[in-house]
Structure formats: structure tokens, C-alpha cells
Amino acid sequence: MQKNLQSLQKKINIKFKDLNLLKKALTHKSYDSVDNNEKIEFLGDRVLGLVIAKKLLEIYTNEKEGILDKKFASLVNKKTCLLIANKLDIEKFILILRSTKNKLKIEDKVLSDACEAIIGAIYLDKGFHVAENFILNLWKDEIDKSVITKIDAKTKLQEYSLKIYKKLPIYKLISNTGPIHKPVIKVSVKLDGSKNFYGESKSKKDAEQSAANLCLNNLNIK
């Protein structure tokens, strides 16, 4: 086990003062029911959350809380932790009692939990700054890819109207002209007390989006 721990330290480029912390991070409760990684994984989960939340606020200074929340969830979930665990080949280092049914495969949750436990161990042994660098280095690609579909204009306008006026925007069909194969549909939208904003398109849905977008821009709604 000592050799495995040395190998993992090289892989993560961190030399532990207390190697027992790293060993604990890799110890599943099936292997040791008392001295295992459950509590240290609990800590690592919180450290990961803090680092990712802090980074998202730095990157997306003008983004709304709802979008940040979606980005955050995609970066700290078990799926992403499993991806990082596989990057580090954590399966090679886990201390676990394998059942006769499952000799070859370790459950995904065990690996993702161990990933968070390693973060907890690094935090306890080296402090927040080292743990933060470890996370940001390994999560860099995932942070770069964490593009959540932008909220469409209608949804954004609806959220704004409900928040400010406690009412939904009012859409009206103004006209439906042009040939059947190439219609031109015109709609209007207004908020409580605002003027009408118009949008045109081949479909009612797209015309409403166009009108909502115009309304957002004219009223400077971010």
C-alpha cells in the first residue's frame, strides 16, 4: 500500500505530511468500518463546492444566480467527480473488499466519493490554497466546457415580469399573412404599463421570441 500511496502522490503532484490522511481517503467502509473515507469525503465535497462556486463568480461576474446554479451543479455532481477519479486512475488505489459477484468492477459512486475524499485529505494536510489549486487544475476542462444553454428571451422576460410586476407578459397575435408555405406571423408583447414590442417570423413561437428579445433590449433588461 505504501508504494501505491507514493505513486498516487506523484500522480497528483502533492507530497503529504501525513500519509495516513491519503490512505484514509482511499479506504472504503467495506475495508474498514471505523477508519474509512466517509467523513473526509463529506469535507471534500464542501471544499469542492466552495472552490467551484468561487471560481464561477470570478468568471461569470454578470451572470444570474439561476445560471450559476446550473453551472455549479454540473461541475460538482457525481458524474464529474467520477470523470476526475478516472483521470487519476483512483480505482488502482482504492482499499475495498470486493464481493465475488463484483471482483472486476468498483461502483462509480465509490470512485467519485474517493475523489472528494482526496480533496478533503489535501485540505486537511496542506490547507485551502493547495486544495484549491488541485481542484482548479483537474476541473479546468470541465469548467471551460460548463456552457449551459442560455435562457431564451421569452423565459428571461417572463422571469423579469413575474419578479417585478407579479404578472406574466402579454402576447398577442397581430397578423398572419403570406402564402401557406411561407407565412409571416406578427405578434406583440407588453409588460405591465409598457408599450407594445413587435416581432415577426415564419412561426408564432419564433415571432414571440423576437418580440421578447426586442422588449428586453429596449427596456435594458439583463
32 is catalytic: no
The residue among 88, 80, 86, 90 whose CA lies nearest residue 143 is 80
3-state secondary structure of 188: strand
CA distance 96 to 120: 19
| Angstrom distance (rounded) from CA 182 to CA 184 | 7
Catalytic hit among 41, 116, 125, 208 = 116
Catalytic residue among 45, 113, 125, 208: 45
Shortest CA distance to 208 belongs to which of 148, 162, 155, 167?
Answer: 155
Closest CA to 37 of 115, 99, 143: 115
Q: Catalytic: 116?
A: yes
What are the φ/ψ torsions at residue 185 (nearest 5 degrees)? -105, 130
Query: How many angstroms separate the CA atoms of 153 and 64, rounded?
Result: 14
Active site residues: 45, 116
